[in-house]
Amino acid sequence: CPAARAAAQYLTHLGTVHGLSRRAAARAAGHWLERLGAAGYADTRLSRLSKGSSQKVAVAQALLAEPELLVLDEAWTGLDADARGELERAVAERTAVGGAVVFVDHDPRRLAGVPDAVYAVRDGSLHRRTGPAPVSAGPRVVVRVQGPAGAVLPADVHRTAASAEETGPGSHTLTVPASHSDVLLRTLLTARPPWHVVSVHAPEERR
Protein backbone atom coordinates (compact mmCIF):
# COMPACT_ATOMS: atom_id res chain seq x y z
CA CYS A 1 0.00 0.00 0.00
CA PRO A 2 1.64 3.31 -1.07
CA ALA A 3 0.26 5.19 1.97
CA ALA A 4 2.14 2.84 4.28
CA ARG A 5 5.49 3.63 2.66
CA ALA A 6 7.88 6.30 3.86
CA ALA A 7 8.18 9.30 1.55
CA ALA A 8 11.73 8.56 0.37
CA GLN A 9 10.94 4.88 -0.12
CA TYR A 10 7.85 5.75 -2.16
CA LEU A 11 9.76 8.19 -4.37
CA THR A 12 12.60 5.73 -4.86
CA HIS A 13 10.13 3.10 -6.04
CA LEU A 14 8.54 5.53 -8.48
CA GLY A 15 11.96 6.51 -9.76
CA THR A 16 12.67 2.90 -10.68
CA VAL A 17 9.29 2.76 -12.44
CA HIS A 18 10.48 5.71 -14.55
CA GLY A 19 13.59 3.76 -15.53
CA LEU A 20 16.15 5.00 -13.00
CA SER A 21 18.42 2.58 -11.22
CA ARG A 22 17.56 2.14 -7.56
CA ARG A 23 20.63 4.09 -6.50
CA ALA A 24 19.86 6.95 -8.91
CA ALA A 25 16.21 6.96 -7.83
CA ALA A 26 17.17 7.16 -4.15
CA ARG A 27 19.59 9.97 -4.89
CA ALA A 28 16.95 11.89 -6.88
CA ALA A 29 14.38 11.36 -4.13
CA GLY A 30 16.72 12.78 -1.51
CA HIS A 31 17.69 15.68 -3.77
CA TRP A 32 14.11 16.82 -4.41
CA LEU A 33 12.93 16.30 -0.85
CA GLU A 34 15.84 18.48 0.27
CA ARG A 35 15.17 21.20 -2.29
CA LEU A 36 11.48 21.33 -1.45
CA GLY A 37 12.10 21.48 2.29
CA ALA A 38 10.76 18.02 3.06
CA ALA A 39 13.98 16.12 3.83
CA GLY A 40 12.93 15.89 7.47
CA TYR A 41 9.95 13.76 6.41
CA ALA A 42 11.91 11.30 4.28
CA ASP A 43 11.22 8.46 6.72
CA THR A 44 7.63 9.49 7.48
CA ARG A 45 4.81 7.38 6.09
CA LEU A 46 2.72 9.08 3.43
CA SER A 47 -0.43 8.55 5.50
CA ARG A 48 1.03 10.67 8.30
CA LEU A 49 2.12 13.63 6.19
CA SER A 50 0.33 16.97 6.32
CA LYS A 51 -1.36 18.28 3.18
CA GLY A 52 1.57 20.62 2.48
CA SER A 53 4.19 17.92 2.95
CA SER A 54 2.17 15.52 0.79
CA GLN A 55 2.11 18.16 -1.93
CA LYS A 56 5.91 18.44 -1.75
CA VAL A 57 6.20 14.69 -2.23
CA ALA A 58 3.84 14.89 -5.21
CA VAL A 59 5.95 17.64 -6.78
CA ALA A 60 9.13 15.67 -6.12
CA GLN A 61 7.50 12.69 -7.84
CA ALA A 62 6.89 14.77 -10.98
CA LEU A 63 10.49 15.99 -11.09
CA LEU A 64 12.30 12.76 -10.22
CA ALA A 65 13.26 11.58 -13.70
CA GLU A 66 13.89 15.01 -15.31
CA PRO A 67 10.97 14.60 -17.74
CA GLU A 68 11.05 16.14 -21.20
CA LEU A 69 7.39 17.03 -20.69
CA LEU A 70 6.46 18.24 -17.21
CA VAL A 71 2.73 18.60 -16.47
CA LEU A 72 1.76 20.45 -13.29
CA ASP A 73 -1.87 20.65 -12.18
CA GLU A 74 -2.14 23.38 -9.50
CA ALA A 75 1.20 22.15 -8.18
CA TRP A 76 1.90 25.37 -6.23
CA THR A 77 -1.27 25.01 -4.14
CA GLY A 78 -0.46 24.14 -0.55
CA LEU A 79 3.29 24.80 -0.84
CA ASP A 80 5.07 27.26 1.42
CA ALA A 81 6.93 30.24 -0.07
CA ASP A 82 10.31 28.51 -0.20
CA ALA A 83 8.90 25.43 -1.92
CA ARG A 84 7.01 27.58 -4.42
CA GLY A 85 10.28 29.30 -5.29
CA GLU A 86 12.03 25.95 -5.76
CA LEU A 87 9.27 24.75 -8.05
CA GLU A 88 9.63 27.89 -10.17
CA ARG A 89 13.39 27.25 -10.39
CA ALA A 90 12.68 23.65 -11.37
CA VAL A 91 10.42 24.87 -14.19
CA ALA A 92 13.23 27.16 -15.36
CA GLU A 93 15.70 24.27 -15.29
CA ARG A 94 13.43 22.06 -17.37
CA THR A 95 12.85 24.72 -20.04
CA ALA A 96 16.53 25.75 -20.04
CA VAL A 97 17.53 22.29 -21.27
CA GLY A 98 14.81 22.21 -23.92
CA GLY A 99 12.03 20.54 -21.95
CA ALA A 100 8.38 21.56 -22.17
CA VAL A 101 6.27 22.52 -19.16
CA VAL A 102 2.47 22.67 -19.15
CA PHE A 103 0.88 23.96 -15.96
CA VAL A 104 -2.60 24.75 -14.68
CA ASP A 105 -3.01 27.35 -11.96
CA HIS A 106 -5.76 29.64 -10.67
CA ASP A 107 -3.32 32.50 -10.10
CA PRO A 108 -2.95 34.45 -13.39
CA ARG A 109 0.31 35.92 -12.06
CA ARG A 110 1.98 32.53 -11.80
CA LEU A 111 5.31 32.68 -13.66
CA ALA A 112 4.16 35.98 -15.16
CA GLY A 113 5.85 36.75 -18.45
CA VAL A 114 7.35 33.28 -18.83
CA PRO A 115 4.77 31.11 -20.68
CA ASP A 116 4.87 31.04 -24.47
CA ALA A 117 1.07 30.89 -24.50
CA VAL A 118 -1.73 31.20 -21.96
CA TYR A 119 -5.14 29.55 -22.20
CA ALA A 120 -8.30 30.06 -20.16
CA VAL A 121 -11.28 27.77 -19.69
CA ARG A 122 -14.58 29.48 -20.50
CA ASP A 123 -17.94 27.74 -20.80
CA GLY A 124 -16.25 24.38 -20.83
CA SER A 125 -13.95 25.26 -23.71
CA LEU A 126 -10.26 26.16 -23.92
CA HIS A 127 -9.48 29.61 -25.33
CA ARG A 128 -6.07 31.04 -26.12
CA ARG A 129 -5.75 34.22 -24.10
CA THR A 130 -2.42 35.54 -25.29
CA GLY A 131 0.54 34.81 -27.49
CA PRO A 132 4.17 34.97 -26.37
CA ALA A 133 4.41 37.18 -23.31
CA PRO A 134 5.96 40.62 -23.83
CA VAL A 135 9.24 41.42 -22.14
CA SER A 136 7.48 43.88 -19.84
CA ALA A 137 5.16 41.25 -18.36
CA GLY A 138 6.02 40.01 -14.88
CA PRO A 139 9.05 40.79 -12.71
CA ARG A 140 12.31 40.88 -14.64
CA VAL A 141 16.02 40.98 -13.92
CA VAL A 142 18.67 42.54 -16.15
CA VAL A 143 22.01 40.74 -16.27
CA ARG A 144 25.09 42.30 -17.89
CA VAL A 145 27.77 39.79 -18.84
CA GLN A 146 31.18 39.74 -20.49
CA GLY A 147 32.24 36.63 -22.35
CA PRO A 148 35.66 35.14 -23.08
CA ALA A 149 37.35 36.27 -26.29
CA GLY A 150 35.45 34.92 -29.31
CA ALA A 151 32.81 33.13 -27.20
CA VAL A 152 29.12 33.04 -28.09
CA LEU A 153 26.32 32.88 -25.56
CA PRO A 154 25.51 29.29 -24.50
CA ALA A 155 22.41 27.94 -26.21
CA ASP A 156 20.73 27.41 -22.85
CA VAL A 157 20.92 31.15 -22.20
CA HIS A 158 18.67 31.84 -25.17
CA ARG A 159 16.11 29.33 -23.83
CA THR A 160 16.03 31.10 -20.45
CA ALA A 161 16.42 34.80 -21.25
CA ALA A 162 13.50 36.84 -22.56
CA SER A 163 15.90 38.99 -24.59
CA ALA A 164 19.62 39.22 -25.30
CA GLU A 165 21.34 42.32 -26.69
CA GLU A 166 25.00 42.45 -27.70
CA THR A 167 26.28 45.82 -26.48
CA GLY A 168 29.93 45.41 -27.49
CA PRO A 169 32.54 42.77 -28.33
CA GLY A 170 31.67 39.88 -26.02
CA SER A 171 29.36 42.08 -23.92
CA HIS A 172 25.66 41.25 -23.60
CA THR A 173 22.69 42.61 -21.70
CA LEU A 174 20.21 39.88 -20.87
CA THR A 175 16.66 40.33 -19.61
CA VAL A 176 15.28 37.31 -17.79
CA PRO A 177 12.13 36.53 -15.78
CA ALA A 178 12.99 36.91 -12.10
CA SER A 179 11.95 33.31 -11.42
CA HIS A 180 14.54 32.11 -13.96
CA SER A 181 17.47 34.33 -12.96
CA ASP A 182 19.21 31.69 -10.81
CA VAL A 183 19.20 29.22 -13.68
CA LEU A 184 20.57 31.82 -16.11
CA LEU A 185 23.41 32.77 -13.76
CA ARG A 186 24.28 29.12 -13.13
CA THR A 187 24.42 28.49 -16.88
CA LEU A 188 26.79 31.40 -17.42
CA LEU A 189 29.05 30.64 -14.47
CA THR A 190 29.35 26.92 -15.22
CA ALA A 191 30.02 27.41 -18.95
CA ARG A 192 33.46 26.38 -20.18
CA PRO A 193 35.10 28.83 -20.12
CA PRO A 194 32.83 30.69 -17.67
CA TRP A 195 31.31 34.09 -18.37
CA HIS A 196 31.90 37.12 -16.15
CA VAL A 197 28.74 38.54 -14.60
CA VAL A 198 29.19 42.32 -14.54
CA SER A 199 25.93 43.24 -12.81
CA VAL A 200 22.49 41.98 -11.87
CA HIS A 201 19.75 44.52 -11.28
CA ALA A 202 16.11 45.41 -11.79
CA PRO A 203 15.20 46.93 -15.20
CA GLU A 204 14.60 50.41 -13.76
CA GLU A 205 18.04 50.60 -12.13
CA ARG A 206 20.74 52.24 -14.23
CA ARG A 207 24.35 51.13 -14.51
Q: Determine what percent of the chain is predicted with pLDDT higher than 90.
A: 50
Class of domain 2-107: alpha beta
pLDDT at 132 over 80: no
Contact 151, 195 (CB under 8 A): yes
The CA-CA-CA angle for residues 71, 116, 190, to 5°, reads 80
Confidence (pLDDT) at 135 = 44
pLDDT at residue number 131: 53
- pLDDT tens digit string along 24-57? 999 999 999 999 999 999 999 999 999 999 999 9
For residue range 82-118, list pLDDT tens digits in order: 999 899 889 988 988 889 999 998 887 777 667 878 8
Distance, CA of 74 to CA of 108 (rounded, Å):
12
Tell me: the pLDDT tens digits for 53-84?
A: 999 999 999 999 999 999 999 999 999 999 99
Distance CA 176, CA 174 (A): 6
**SS3 (DSSP) at 123:** coil
